[in-house]
Structure 1
Amino acid sequence: MRLGYKSRVSAGGGHRISMKLCVLLCLLPLLRSYPLIKGKHNDTGNNFHPDPDPAYSLPGMSGRCTEEGFGAITLDDKGVMHYFRGDSEWTGFQGPTQHINVTWPGLTGPIDAAFRNHNKKTPLEHHRIYLFKGEQVWSYYEGKLVKGFPRLIGKEFPGIPDHLDAAVECHQGECRTDSVLFFKGDTVYIYSSEEEPPIKQRHWSLGNCSAAVRWLERYYCFNGINFTRFDPVTGKVLSPRPLDTRDYFVWCPGRGHGHETRQNATLMAIKDRCSNRSFEAFCSDDKSRIYAFRGGWYFRLDSSKDGWHAWPLSHTWRNLQGVVDAAFSHEHRMYFIQGSQVTVYLSDQMYIPVAGYPKAIEEEWEVSGVTAVDAAFTCPHSSDLYLIRGNRLTLVDLNTRRRSGEDETIIHSEVDSAMCNAHGLYLIHGPSFYHYKDVGELLSTNTAPAPGTIASYFLDC
């Protein structure tokens, strides 16, 4: 791979992926991240202000950055994060303050708890927003109060107490069924209309949660200005220590990851998915999660309704830093190639680094003479690994970890990244991608297909 950023751009899956703000949370390997709101280029707070200090003059900026924390947090049906305190709310990573009833007609603060419902089996309730205050609950969809609300909490959620501390939805697969976790004091009420009985009570060692939120398949308990990540089934705390909300979830001047560099225009472009900068790598993992890598940061491309955001690599892959030349997934392992080195992570609840890495490419796969690559990919349900260098395609059998056959020639003289998933093979160069049905079609063709545009096709720009 070339020095600097390889021109890469990729298509995440073969279908138009509607992703909204992201970019998600192994959070707590969370080594800095910032959830943003979804929307068009430059209208969602995706970019840091070029000079953080004047931000305190923006309405509500200093209020959001106090030690008080928030009384409730939730994503809405469009992927916008909302933070509530008293009669005020803040939206997105750096939105200004406003009165609650501006966004939520007919409601005033303070809000006790909030969540975005997830239950595809009940389409009329799926992605509704529920806001709790005292003995009542309000429900909204597409910014409008649902008919029949507000209602008593006990009528809408029989058996759930009033004056809650926090609430968060839990998706089937992450919990046994689509559920809601309600927090009050040291008791957690797990509510599922699909279960009998519909409520189970648990006593977890999380401590008091003044707010809770699910974001990119991870669950967070907020206590004042601090938060911890937890397992929604066992209640086990997954964070090594409490972290400060102002360093991860909201922008506060002088705080956050590398705040001193935010004035750098290059860094801003790296973190702006619509800047037309190249991506160094694309990858789809065993759970069909799609990642795009650029300049030591990554975007999640598959998570609809969770908005967009760039995260540092170490947020999900502990200790991983720098530019990723290529990435691919195989049998619950994620491989990263950086220069001549390969690093491997096991995929579990979070990515766990495999001991003994990094290793040299030649040592990992017995491919003499291969000391760097431009792109690498595997296809679903296959042990074939393809390494691309210039216009040469090298096949490696991951079962034997050895080169298989002679190198093949492809019609593309320069490739920045490649990804193969259920929708086909994507070769990426600069701002464009080329789609093939499979490797066989790539090797047999003499003419490249019409290029697609990465920004619009995969990044919702």
Structure 2
Amino acid sequence: MRCAVGALCLCSALGLALAYPLKQDGRGGGGKTNGTGSSWHHLGSYPSVEDKEPKQRCSEEGFDAITMDEAGVMLFFKGDLVWKGFAGAAELKNASWPEIQGPVDAALRIHHPDRPSIHDNVYLFQGKHLWAYAQGRLKDGYPRLIEEEFPGIPGDLDAAVECHAQECSHAATVFFFKGTVVYSYDLTTKELKQRSWPSVANCSAAVRWLGRYYCFQGIQFLRFDPVTGQVGANYPRDARDYFMRCPGRGHGHHTQGNATARAIADRCSGRPFQAFFSDDTGRIYAFREGHYFQLDSHRDGWHAWPLKHLWKDLEGDVDAAFSWDNKLYLVQGSQVTIYQTGRGYTRVDGYPRPLQAELGVAEADATFTCPRSQALYIIHGNHLRRVDLELSPGHPGPLQPIPHAHVDGALCTSKGVFLFHGSDFHHYADVDQLIKATAPAPAKSIVVDFFHCPPPHAVGQGAPSLHHPQ
């Protein structure tokens, strides 16, 4: 068995962000309980073994396996120990998984909403066997042979990682690594393929985190494309600079002294957001001063990313955004840029171009479209205008008053219309209710309701800001 690297510490040279708010045990997580009032194994207050940091966490051999659990807590396995969460101390593995004796070879969380029986199951592999856990408990019928669960997959694996359907050519997939061989297993059809990925081989651990895929090789790690197997530029990198807290090492620590950078990237700072948007796939983004947060992936952590990480060549502030017909429209001042959506975002040729030429308006404070609707709503000042994106995209309808002097951003989902101003938002059941309103709907906190932050009186209870590899 090969040993894996890295305790996944979140890293960005351009910004810091808070992870989940800490619970009482100080590890961070979703706070689920098992129905008896106690927390799941990954959140409970188990006695810790002596945590010989940084010797164990920063050793050359790294970790045996890494995975997210069902609540978005990162698990790092090494020998008889496990680290839970980004700031957790070393614990005895058999305190949480007494059924497994000795080191694990690989670990995996399944993400397959169409298969509730396996969705959010956590699999631990050892030799020719695997153990499957649901909500922290061993499922009936386990352990069993790996071949029985995943036909064609051999034992003594080195690593495994889930690949979400929308990121893996529309097929929920698991990648298994053994030496130089990469197996691709389709969870729906059970089709097995071998990938020719010379750049992604000999992975001692693999993990998906916030839509990015990592392969660890000793103390080095790679970020790879789950469809092509291509490795990003400037890899491999040393995990001690990104994935674990090690004395004298680190990446981007200069940003810690920049209060403005911290406030931009701290979702709980109360600093206003300039735009929001959602699309029919359920993705939701919030924009703030050249960075974005992805709200629908909050289970795996909250982190601010520079715009260019997702939208190539995009810089500066996003003033308004909306999605329609598999395209994303980003408004910056009097210009609009369109990106084609799919497995990623590709800028449409000829953009940016004037907003006036595209939509028939000179400027916009906020924009939104509702799910499966061709109607775009543009807000400027205290008025709203409707544009039919299919029939007359350059000809907005008449001005209609709304009970808000100004809004920073707007969002429409299946739950209604949300208008954002400063640190507050106002909720309306639908557009008709907004237009008919004579006074603003009650104000609610953006950071509490959208970003799951502690209420203002509880500020300071959040987890420490860490770094993430770009």
Give TM class, smaller chain.
0.7 to 0.9
User: What does the per-residue CA deviation read over 1:394-419, in whole Å, with 9 as the maximum and x for residues that have no partner?
Assistant: 44454554242333321111211101
Q: Give the SS at the match of 1:440.
A: helix
1:81 is the counterpart of 2:74: yes
**Displacement after TM superposition at 1:456 (Å):** 3.1
1:359 is the counterpart of 2:353: yes
**Who is 1:263 aligned against?**
257
Task: Judge which range, 409-418 or 334-343, deviates more.
Answer: 334-343
Q: Among 371, 375, 381, which residue is 1:380 paired with?
A: 371
Do the aligned partners of residues 67 and 327 (structure 1) sit closer, same or farther apart at CA in structure 2, a change above 3 Å counting?
A: farther
Equivalent residue pairs, number: 419
**Who is 2:414 aligned against?**
422
1:307 is the counterpart of 2:298: no
**Who is 1:229 aligned against?**
224
1:409 is the counterpart of 2:404: no
**1: CA distance between counterparts of 2:183 and 2:426?**
49
The answer for unaligned runs of 5 or more in structure 1 is 1-21, 47-57
Give the conservation status (yes or no) of the 8 Å contact 1:167–1:181. Answer: yes
1:163 is the counterpart of 2:152: no
Do the aligned partners of residues 255 and 328 (structure 1) sit closer, same or farther apart at CA in structure 2, a change above 3 Å counting?
A: farther
Q: Among 201, 209, 228, which residue is 1:215 paired with?
A: 209
State TM-score, norm by structure 2: 0.75
1:323 is the counterpart of 2:317: yes
Give the conservation status (yes or no) of the 8 Å contact 1:37–1:91. Answer: no
Q: Among 436, 441, 446, which residue is 1:454 paired with?
A: 446
Do the aligned partners of residues 317 and 150 (structure 1) sit closer, same or farther apart at CA in structure 2, a change above 3 Å counting?
A: same
1:116 is the counterpart of 2:129: no
**2: CA distance between counterparts of 1:324 and 1:107?**
50
**Who is 1:392 aligned against?**
383
**1: CA distance between counterparts of 2:253 and 2:236?**
16
Give the conservation status (yes or no) of the 8 Å contact 2:222–2:231. Answer: no
Task: Judge which range, 65-74 or 293-302, deviates more.
Answer: 65-74
Q: Among 253, 274, 284, which residue is 1:280 paired with?
A: 274
Q: Give the SS at the match of 1:137.
A: strand
**Displacement after TM superposition at 1:168 (Å):** 1.5
Amino acid at match of 1:261: T
**2: CA distance between counterparts of 1:139 and 1:230?**
27
Do the aligned partners of residues 128 and 379 (structure 1) sit closer, same or farther apart at CA in structure 2, a change above 3 Å counting?
A: closer
Q: Give the SS at the match of 2:153.
A: coil
State TM-score, norm by structure 1: 0.77
Amino acid at match of 2:108: F
Do the aligned partners of residues 223 and 352 (structure 1) sit closer, same or farther apart at CA in structure 2, a change above 3 Å counting?
A: farther
Q: Give the SS at the match of 2:183.
A: strand
**2: CA distance between counterparts of 1:254 and 1:401?**
56
**Displacement after TM superposition at 1:283 (Å):** 0.8
**Displacement after TM superposition at 1:217 (Å):** 4.3
Task: Judge which range, 283-292 or 332-341, deviates more.
Answer: 332-341
Of structures 1 and 2, the one scoring higher in RCO (CA 8 A, sep 6+) is 1
**1: CA distance between counterparts of 2:82 and 2:437?**
56
**2: CA distance between counterparts of 1:248 and 1:404?**
48
Give the conservation status (yes or no) of the 8 Å contact 1:33–1:247. Answer: no
**2: CA distance between counterparts of 1:247 and 1:339?**
38
Task: Judge which range, 260-269 or 147-156, deviates more.
Answer: 147-156
Give the conservation status (yes or no) of the 8 Å contact 1:32–1:247. Answer: no
**2: CA distance between counterparts of 1:293 and 1:178?**
29
Do the aligned partners of residues 119 and 415 (structure 1) sit closer, same or farther apart at CA in structure 2, a change above 3 Å counting?
A: closer
Give the conservation status (yes or no) of the 8 Å contact 1:33–1:315. Answer: no
**1: CA distance between counterparts of 2:262 and 2:17?**
15
**2: CA distance between counterparts of 1:277 and 1:41?**
24
Task: Judge which range, 389-398 or 426-435, deviates more.
Answer: 389-398
Q: CA RMSD in A?
A: 3.7
Give the conservation status (yes or no) of the 8 Å contact 1:38–1:79. Answer: no
**2: CA distance between counterparts of 1:254 and 1:343?**
42
The answer for unaligned runs of 5 or more in structure 2 is 1-7, 30-50, 454-470
Do the aligned partners of residues 109 and 267 (structure 1) sit closer, same or farther apart at CA in structure 2, a change above 3 Å counting?
A: farther
**Who is 1:138 aligned against?**
131
Amino acid at match of 2:435: L
Do the aligned partners of residues 386 and 31 (structure 1) sit closer, same or farther apart at CA in structure 2, a change above 3 Å counting?
A: farther
Q: Give the SS at the match of 1:402.
A: coil
**Who is 2:289 aligned against?**
295
Give the conservation status (yes or no) of the 8 Å contact 1:76–1:82. Answer: yes
**Who is 1:441 aligned against?**
433
**2: CA distance between counterparts of 1:252 and 1:409?**
57
**2: CA distance between counterparts of 1:298 and 1:41?**
25
User: What does the per-residue CA deviation read over 1:282-301, in whole Å, with 9 as the maximum and x for residues that have no partner?
Assistant: 11024220012223322221
What fraction of aligned residue pairs are identical, expressed as a percent?
48
Q: Give the SS at the match of 2:300.
A: coil
Give the conservation status (yes or no) of the 8 Å contact 2:361–2:396. Answer: no
